[in-house]
Amino acid sequence: LKKKVAISIGDPNGVGLQLILENHTKVCEVCDPIYFVNQNILQQAATLLNIHIPNNINLFETIGEFEIKPGEVCKDAGLYSYNSFLDAINYVKENKADAITTLPINKESWSKANIHYVGHTDMLRDVFQEDAIMMLGCEKMYVSLFTEHMPLSKVTSSLSLEKLEKFLLDLKKSLPNVNEKIAVLGLNPHAGDNGVLGNEEEIIIQAILNANKKLGKQIFEGPLVPDIAFTPRVRSQYKYFVAMYHDQGLAPLKALYFDEGINVSLNLPILRTSVDHGTAFDIAYKNINQLSNLSYLNAINYCI
């Protein structure tokens, strides 16, 4: 039996519905998808895109009625993408599907609809009241983020032994099938260079020691020198990396594997994966045949 994947459509004014319609056949090869969109909205998109709606499509008819406005920031579309995601969450919570794959929402549209989450992960944290872990990457390399969406000035003070140790243990618990070493990056240039460029690496060393001790295994290694961690030689040694902050991990990841990347929410009662691109308003409904689908298909494949 194929796994069932709940797919929230993201912002209807963006590229989500085109990705769904163009890739339905491929998606059906690996899972049994259910899309969180009603017939009317889907038909509007199909008409705009001049693509037939496949016969075998399975919909959860998320309520909402409005006109799709290609590429526009819009309250109605924002609210609808929120409801599509919320319906998908509840569906998976009730064990009617195995995992969620989300298509991109527009944060400004959410804001216009008075939804004040920074994004999907933030909403999941609130719904489940758990410390979700954000992991991005692809088959070749995954980066999980110890801190995420915060000003750079707050990063250093957010690092504590207790928090990092918990993060490492939560991460390992969320990756039960991963038995290889996981690389933990330093915080400072040259990983502090023995304290000359910062001493927060002492906290990182201790957190690694504590986590490994509790796991009874040398799972975590580090702290790695951040600007060396993603060179070819080091990448050949590790597939999983822990970055201390957003751009430390994501700038190298996206430099290397932009098109293929996905976003995985770990440490939650449900599994959620996502494409690692935005709504692409600039190309939505613009008669582009076959959007790049690597990220979308990888996101679904991770669920399987």
Residues at the interface with a second copy (CB under 8 A)? 118, 148-153, 155-157, 187-190, 192-193, 196-198, 200, 226-233, 235, 245-248, 250-256, 258
What is the spatial distance between Cα 240 and Cα 207, in angstroms, rounded to a whole number?
17
What is the spatial distance between Cα 56 and Cα 31, in angstroms, rounded to a whole number?
13
Q: Which residue has the tokens 């939505």?
A: 284
Q: Which residue has the tokens 């991990």?
A: 249
Cβ at position 150, least distance to a second copy in Å? 7
Based on CB atoms, which residue is closest to a second copy, 98 or 122? 122
Tokens of residue 159, six digits = 């690092």
Bridge partners (DSSP) listed for residue 6: 34, 100
Based on CB atoms, which residue is closest to a second copy, 228 or 304? 228
Cβ at position 140, least distance to a second copy in Å? 12
Based on CB atoms, which residue is closest to a second copy, 174 or 188? 188
Based on CB atoms, which residue is closest to a second copy, 160 or 231? 231
Cβ at position 10, least distance to a second copy in Å? 18
Cβ at position 40, least distance to a second copy in Å? 33
Based on CB atoms, which residue is closest to a second copy, 150 or 209? 150
What is the spatial distance between Cα 25 and Cα 22, in angstroms, rounded to a whole number?
8
Q: Is the dihedral angle over the CA atoms 202, 205, 209, 211 positive or is it negative? A: positive
Cβ at position 263, least distance to a second copy in Å? 12
Based on CB atoms, which residue is closest to a second copy, 41 or 155? 155
Sheet with 133-138, edge to edge strand ranges = 59-60, 32-36, 4-8, 99-102, 272-275, 262-266, 133-138, 141-145, 240-243, 182-185, 220-224
What is the spatial distance between Cα 47 and Cα 12, in angstroms, rounded to a whole number?
13
Cβ at position 154, least distance to a second copy in Å? 8
